[in-house]
A and B are shown apart, each in its own frame.
Chain A
Amino acid sequence: MSTSIAIRPVARKLLRPSGAQYIPPPFLLPSLLAPIQQKTSFSSTTSNLYPRDNNRERGVSTARRTGLRQPLSVSKTPLPKPVLDPSKRSKVEVDEDHGLWDFFHSKEKPMNTPEEDDDHGRPWCVEELRGKSWEDLHALWWVCAKERNRIATEAYERKRLEAGYGQFESEKRDSHVRRTQRAIKQVLSERYYSWRDAEVLAKNDPEIGLSGQGPAYNPSNFVEQYVPVEEKASMESDVKPEQDISIEPEAKPEQKSSLNL
């Protein structure tokens, strides 16, 4: 910044190659020399050749909606306007096999009428389910679970729309589904207990092998020897004294004392 602001335009003109032929007259020479004392420019008006600062966004305001200083490539394309009226909006096509249809009883209306809700049978009872396989029971449980989702969705919608009656019917339907689920659980717990008991019995059964090696069931010969009634009675009488001998009165206190210790 060796030259002052006032002489810059003149100096530029002199330096320009096109304006090289123009040589100022000699009486202007003092004006070209930099004044030593002068700090501010003579004129108070700003030069149009220079911007105020290097801010490229000057004058661009979102608050005043000025827009950009230069047009963009998309400026000629009209902007899409939002459709405020919901009835004029384009319809969304829903697939027929969408999974969320399983939250409804029908595709026409969002909830069942009380008559439709009431149109059902009784819940499955335990006696009927005892003969079913695990696959059947599991499938029935899932049918119940999805039905409960359906009932809950429709009950919520009916309450939201203030549609009217139908709460009693839907609650009754739901209770029947829950009773079916309870019966399934009861059958499964019965099976579990019987399996546990069978395991205890199998440990003492010589015919059943729980080791995992060899067959699990080794049936022994079931042909019993024919014993006449008189011989049977005599055998029993022979056995009796042996039983008396085996239970010795002296042995009992010893066992008790060992337990007490």
Chain B
Amino acid sequence: MARMKFLCDADRCIDCNACVTACKSENEVPWGINRRRVVTINDGKPGERSVSMACMHCTDAPCATVCPVQCIYPTDDGIVLHNKDQCIGCGYCFYACPFGAPQYPQVGNFGTRGKMDKCTYCAGGGGSESPGSPEEYKKYGSNRFGEGKLPLCAEMCSTKSLLAGDGDIIAQLYEERVNKRGYGSGAWGWETAYHEDVKT
């Protein structure tokens, strides 16, 4: 079975934020929640690079391990999903996440968080809602994956910087690019997320 991953080719990313917009629009993400964001390293300096980042759907996902109610789990495709009905909004997944992916709506005093929200790889939710149902859409957003489609952020990337799909295939795509153009700043986050790097 394919292992789904994200790969951001930072040498192509132009910080246009189309991926962020696509994600927000496709999943109708509420205000203040950013499932995907673009971070610019060395802004305004030589060697500046922008990286689009969301949940990387880690191998041995630390969020899933630390969750006190065990509501986060990986699917057979390696997508990390969670069940919002069980989430207690403790915030531990954010502390454990190497990529700052989990988001929480503020629901009360003293920083009380609501149910965690994060990138679902456009694969719906990890709850009891039937896949593709309006209930699932309301809680978790789109289930493009169930329709055989890839996440919209990667699909809409204007420079094809953000790649989604089978980890082996996108790694190979990236390696070919690096070989052809002669440079590459690496697959950002892969070492931390998947315990392996691309071969360049």
A and B found bound together: no
- A-contacting residues of B (Cβ < 8 Å)? none
